[in-house]
Amino acid sequence: MTKPLRIALAGLGTVGGGVIRLLDENGALIARRAGRPIEIVAVSARDRSKDRGVDISRFAWVDDTTALAGLDVDVVVELVGGSDGPALTLARTTLAAGKGFVTANKAMIAHHGLELSRAAEASGAALKFEAAVAGGVPVIKGLREGAAANAIDRVYGILNGTCNFILSKMEAEGRDFADVLAEAQALGYAEADPTFDIDGVDAAHKLAILASIAFGTQPAFGDVAASGIRHVLATDIAEAEALGYRIRLLGLADHGAGGLFQRVHPHLVAVSHPLAHVTGATNAVVAEGNYVGRLLFQGAGAGDGPTASAVVADLIDIARGEFGPAFAMPADALAAEAPADPGERRGRAYVRFAVADKVGVLAEIAAAMRDAGVSIESLIQRGSSGDDGVGGSVFVVIVTHEGPERAVAQALERLRGSQSLTGQPLWMHILG
């Protein structure tokens, strides 16, 4: 057998530990598949004395994580995290040294992917990040390779397992967001600081990477419009269900009016759509290609095993000598596309208002909609249960006919500051 692929591993947490265990258990099979063994030779993390649950005494320990690139290794695997800091320093030094770089770090790739792909091309090194999007689900490989012959019309999906866990639990048990979040934190499905997950930032990182690969555009995280699920109430889940929908946090990208459109928001998804049936911490991505049709990628979006599976798949590609440009085409070929104007988009909307229980409120909302040119398909009014954070209010839910999003935005602008509203309206798009 030819000489091993020598690895330096930065980060020995959930994913780093998973990579060591996977290579221990499946090493012989992987060596046959890759044509050579994959061997970890050095590791680094913050705390040398921490019990990792795996034996790391067989690897060289390096105190300074950013020094791994200087070792006699073929590939550095970065499983530290963070868009900048040691992860970025390590990426730059590794690629400048002409060594392969594998990461699960979506934040860093979303922010610095273009620079890093240029650096990889300049030195002829591999840059791979399958685990950065949808964990164990091989969606980057699917788009870069399997669907490479297609023009992709649209890519969208459930990109954050924490949010999907919370929404599907709210749905199954009729509970409110804060309550389910606390349980998700206790179970380890949500971080102590859940902001990146529940406010849509994590999904936005992943969407920016997916959109770049799907559309041949430069990764543009700053152009992703993102909001999360913290304002979704149990009443929204119930109303959506009554209308034939489930609520899912979706990342969605397509070519919109005058540019690339990227958004992460809670959406209403018809129960007949496969994404409505994705529950728990699962991720699922739909890509629509002009020759292949609709593809659905689904599986575990996080966790030590699934994420390690994606990391090691990248290592196997490198061991085989099979890697191409990181974003499926050379960095200079990626288009710098302007963001599309969301106001030009057409669609149906769900808008929920919490309003004071008094005469004239419905007329005020209906007038704002009419004056902005929004056509109302249905209007439902219900009393609040009192334990949903907007006690004493009445809910008004409007579903619109298809129309320009600009009109809904204008209607909400007209209602801004109205004494009739007791809280911020929640506007959700209905997946068309």
Ligand X SMILES: NC(=O)c1ccc[n+]([C@@H]2O[C@H](COP(=O)([O-])OP(=O)(O)OC[C@H]3O[C@@H](n4cnc5c(N)ncnc54)[C@H](OP(=O)(O)O)[C@@H]3O)[C@@H](O)[C@H]2O)c1
| 3-state secondary structure (DSSP) of residue 169 | helix
Q: Select the residue interacting with ligand X from 8, 22, 69, 81 (CB under 6 A).
A: 81
Dist. CA 127–CA 48, nearest whole Å = 28
Q: Select the residue interacting with ligand X from 65, 218, 298, 422 (CB under 6 A).
A: 65
Please, what is the minimum distance in Å from the beta carbon of residue 248 to ligand X?
19
| 3-state secondary structure (DSSP) of residue 362 | helix
In 3D space, the residue among 205, 212, 3, 28 whose CA is nearest the CA of residue 110 turns out to be 205
Structure tokens given for 182: 């606390």
Looking at beta carbons only, is 20 or 104 nearer to ligand X? 104
Q: Select the residue interacting with ligand X from 13, 325, 339, 423 (CB under 6 A).
A: 13
Tell me if 194 contacts ligand X by CB under 6 A: no
Dist. CA 97–CA 321, nearest whole Å = 17
How far, rounded to the nearest angstrom, does the alpha carbon of residue 100 sit from its chain's CA centroid?
A: 25
Q: How many CA atoms lie within 13 A of 8 on its CB side?
A: 26
Q: Select the residue interacting with ligand X from 94, 105, 212, 410 (CB under 6 A).
A: 105
Tell me if 152 contacts ligand X by CB under 6 A: no
Tell me if 50 contacts ligand X by CB under 6 A: yes
CB-based contacts of 56-60 (< 8 A; 24+ apart in sequence): 56/12, 56/20, 59/9
Binding mask 276-305 for ligand X (x = CB under 6 A): --------------------------xx--
Tell me if 47 contacts ligand X by CB under 6 A: yes
DSSP-assigned letters across all residues of 204-223 = HHHHHHHHHHHHTB---GGG
Piece of the chain touching ligand X by CB under 6 A; list 6-14, 165-173, 412-420, 423-431: 6-14
Looking at beta carbons only, is 156 or 196 nearer to ligand X? 196
Tell me if 138 contacts ligand X by CB under 6 A: no
Across-strand partners of 255? 260
In 3D space, the residue among 108, 107, 65, 30 whose CA is nearest the CA of residue 317 turns out to be 30
| 3-state secondary structure (DSSP) of residue 411 | helix
Catalytic one of 106, 128, 169, 206: 206
Please, what is the minimum distance in Å from the beta carbon of residue 14 to ligand X?
4
Dist. CA 89–CA 101, nearest whole Å = 12
Backbone angles phi, psi at 104, to 5 degrees: -110, 10
Q: Is 3 a catalytic residue?
A: no
Residue with the shortest CB distance to ligand X: 13
Piece of the chain touching ligand X by CB under 6 A; list 7-15, 260-268, 352-360, 414-422: 7-15
Tell me if 307 contacts ligand X by CB under 6 A: yes
Tell me if 104 contacts ligand X by CB under 6 A: yes
In 3D space, the residue among 389, 213, 188, 386 whose CA is nearest the CA of residue 303 turns out to be 188
Tell me if 162 contacts ligand X by CB under 6 A: no
Positions in 27-46 near ligand X (CB under 6 A): 45-46
Q: Select the residue interacting with ligand X from 37, 100, 113, 135 (CB under 6 A).
A: 135
Would you tell me which residues interact with ligand X (CB under 6 A)? Answer: 11-16, 45-47, 50, 65, 79-81, 86, 104-106, 131, 135, 302-303, 307
Tell me the catalytic residues.
206
